Amino acid sequence: MTSDRNGRRVVITGVGVIAPNGVGTDDFWKATREGATALGPITREGCEKLPLRIAGQVHGFDAEGAIEGRYLVQTDRFTHYAMAAADLALADAGLGDGPEDPFAVGVVTAAGSGGGEFGQRELQNLWGQGPHFVGPYQSIAWFYAASTGQISIRGGFKGPCAVVASDEAGGLDALAHAVRTIRRGTDRVVVGAAEAPLAPYSMVCQLGYRELSLAADPDRAYLPFSADARGFVPAEGGAMFVAEAEESARGRGARIRAVLAGHAATFTGASRWAESRHGLAHAIRGALEEAHCAPDEIDVVFADALGVPEADRAEALAIADALGEHAARVPVTAPKAGTGRAYCGAPLIDAAAAVLAMEQGLVPPTPNVTDVAHDIDLVTGYARTAELRTALVLSRGLMGSNAALVLRRP
Amino acid sequence: MDHHLTHEELAALIKSRAGITVDPAAIGHPEATFDEFGVDSLGLLGIVGELENRYGTQIAPGAEMSKTPQQFLDAVNASVKTGA
């Protein structure tokens, strides 16, 4: 992404995280760095009797304090998180006062499940009381594009807007789309994803995933790369960023936090985890090529870490296929073992952690995992100090997408 | 049904259905517009639905397109009267 034919380098100037282990980037990083786990019983109304017991639930998020009433009534929880994370990212980028030129700012989000909680409430009104009891905001709140639309309206951003409706890997694809948008001439894009799949209807939809962990012990439910891996734990929340043309960022004296250096995506089919080895390796090679990055320049890998033995093996092999001998030396981490997988939000939370890790020179650990059953240098226990210039973030989706992102320190 | 929608009731409906806090006295100002309160037609549509359920009668189509609270109150109160 740094030097294709359009030349424009794209950087990250703002980071905003709403995650199970922290509302706000500082709290999130503190918990991530320490390897704290935020997995626990799902406490939302109507979820008590479902077989899915453990998830990464966001605690301590004050929606009324963060979002104006007029936007709260129109939107689902997934959009509340996205709007709040966008505010954090914009404030971090020094753009909290609104755009000088509305057409110079676009919005891109990714979404894997939309507004299931809002939709369920309105559909229950429909079948329980009748069509007259369905509110007009049902028409927009459940929709995958709702967060993009509401962030755009609320912030007054009139540049190009888009939504990537996809599986987990779509979070990284949204960043790539933001880069392309900036290459076409837009100065800045508010980009990211947040999800809220912890409501009865949304959870029932997930019960069909054979990769889902139904374990009841929060410390044992999600153990990627270990011999006890038994599936993944879902989560809510996500991260938003301000992506910006480098010359625009430098022109206004903004702090550049990272460079969006390379991305590539492939597709290998839903739940075909053995095949994901080649798809993911191909994505890594593509991202490295776009970043003009040699394999041994990668200083840390944020793994997809599905927690399914076959998928973990495929990922370890993909890293080895793409990075060669360097794969044996590069530290690999999966902080999401402590937060769960927030679908499209998951790789963006990882991207936020990667930005912070490079700034702090610290590889955060993989919570709860003590034994490593694959041939990778997985960071467990405590954070590891390291000089980090380049980070690789990996993501695979349950529907078969694979994506890789290369981030560089500015 | 004999009911007359008041400024106070409309303010409460705007709060509950459109999420916007409006002073009932401001609604009563003859120059007031929904635009200045930030209430759009989807917000008014939700209020119309709530009133129809509450009064058990149809409100004439177009009330949600009202530009001012006075227009809206007139449309709603006329419908409630004829529908009774």
Q: Exposed/middle/buried for B16, CB within 10 Å: 0-12, 13-18, 19+?
A: middle
Which residues of A fall within a CB distance of 8 Å from B52? 132
Q: 3-class DSSP state for residue A228? A: coil
Is B52 in Cβ contact with A69 (below 8 Å)?
no
Q: For position A99, what pLDDT does the model report? A: 87
At position A372, the amino acid (one-letter code) is: V
Q: For position A5, what pLDDT does the model report? A: 42
Is A136 in Cβ contact with B49 (below 8 Å)?
yes
Q: Which two tokens stand for residue B13?
A: 């409906």
Is A136 in Cβ contact with B42 (below 8 Å)?
yes
Class of CATH domain A10-258: alpha beta
CA distance B30 to chain A (A): 24
Of B21, B45, B52, the CB nearest to A69: B21
Is B46 in Cβ contact with A137 (below 8 Å)?
yes
Distance, CA of A117 to CA of A129 (rounded, Å): 18
- Region A82-105: what's the mean pLDDT? 96
Q: Is B20 on the interface with A (CB under 8 A)?
A: yes
Q: For position B83, what pLDDT does the model report? A: 62
- ipTM metric: 0.87
Q: For position B81, what pLDDT does the model report? A: 79
Residue A384: phi, psi to the nearest 5? Answer: -115, 130
The Cα diameter of chain B in Å comes to: 32
- Region A339-345: what's the mean pLDDT? 98
- Region A306-311: what's the mean pLDDT? 98
Task: Give the number of other CB atoms < 10 A from CB of residue A271.
Answer: 16
Q: Is B49 on the interface with A (CB under 8 A)?
A: yes
The reported pTM is 0.95
Alpha helices in A259-376 (DSSP H): 273-290, 309-323, 345-360
Q: Tell me the domain boundaries of chain A.
A: 10-258, 263-408
Nearest alpha carbon to residue A399 among A309, A280, A272, A305: A272
Residue to mutate among B15, B41, B42, B51, with most A CBs inside 10 A, is: B42
- Region A218-230: what's the mean pLDDT? 97
Q: For position B1, what pLDDT does the model report? A: 47
Q: For position B2, what pLDDT does the model report? A: 56
Which residues of B fall within a CB distance of 8 Å from A71? 19
Q: Is A128 on the interface with B (CB under 8 A)?
A: no
Cα-based distances in Å from A58 to A22, A111, A196, A243: 8, 17, 9, 25
Nearest alpha carbon to residue B11 among B42, B41, B34, B45: B34
Distance, CA of A313 to CA of A306 (rounded, Å): 10
Kindly tell me if the per-residue pLDDT of A2 is higher than 70.
no
The answer to whether A237 touches A32, Cβ cutoff 8 Å, is: no
Do A10-258 and A263-408 come out as alike in CATH topology? yes
- Mean of all residue pLDDT scores within chain A: 96
Q: Is A5 on the interface with B (CB under 8 A)?
A: no
Q: How confident is the model over A164-217, as pLDDT tens digits? A: 999 999 999 999 999 999 999 999 999 999 999 999 999 999 999 999 999 999
Distance, CA of A34 to CA of A364 (rounded, Å): 7
Nearest alpha carbon to residue A336 among A217, A406, A232, A227: A232
CA distance A139 to chain B (A): 10
pLDDT > 90 in chain B, percent: 75
Domain A263-408, CATH: 3.40.47.10
pLDDT > 90 in chain A, percent: 96
Kindly tell me if the per-residue pLDDT of A34 is higher than 60.
yes
- Region B24-34: what's the mean pLDDT? 92
Q: Is A71 on the interface with B (CB under 8 A)?
A: yes
Q: For position B60, what pLDDT does the model report? A: 87
Q: Highest mean pLDDT: which of A83-87, B38-42, B69-73?
A: A83-87
CA distance A69 to chain B (A): 4
Distance, CA of A356 to CA of A384 (rounded, Å): 13
Q: Is B30 on the interface with A (CB under 8 A)?
A: no
CA distance B1 to chain A (A): 19
Class of CATH domain B7-83: mainly alpha
Q: 3-class DSSP state for residue A378? A: strand
Is A69 in Cβ contact with B53 (below 8 Å)?
no
Listed range (A269-283, A368-382, B27-41) with the worst mean pLDDT: B27-41
Q: For position A160, what pLDDT does the model report? A: 98
Which residues of A fall within a CB distance of 8 Å from B46? 135-137
